[in-house]
Amino acid sequence: MYNQDYVDETLKNIFSDPTITNIICSIYDQHLTLHAIASLLNLDSEIVNIHLKKLVDLNLVKKVEKEGQVYFIITNSKVCDSILMLKDAIQRIS
């Protein structure tokens, strides 16, 4: 089980940059390469790569190699579900 400091630091990292939440949710329920994520979000591949490294280090995303390609997948779909629910709740009150 993770301690509260880890949880707080992870939340801070997730919400520190909207690009991070967009990357997490872009790979919801699918395996995508770095370049596919960058194309989908219309971002530079290097920026996506920097954020993916952070997400892998936080164990929120993992790399999977298939057919010579490296794909990224979300480790727990509840993370994206929670982000989307929080965004929806905030939009409803604003």
pLDDT in tens, 49-75: 999 999 999 899 999 999 999 999 999
Reported as type and span, the H/E element at residue 61 is strand 61-66
**CATH number of the domain that 72 lies in?**
1.10.10.10
Total number of domains constituting the chain: 1
| pLDDT more than 90, % of the chain | 53
| Total count of residues recorded for the chain | 94
- On average, the pLDDT of the chain sits at 90
How many helices (H) and strands (E) in the chain? 5, 2
d(CA 13, CA 31): 22
Question: Where in the sequence is the domain holding 75, given as residue range(s)?
Answer: 4-93
- Stretch 26-44: mean pLDDT, rounded? 94
Contact 26, 37 (CB under 8 A): yes
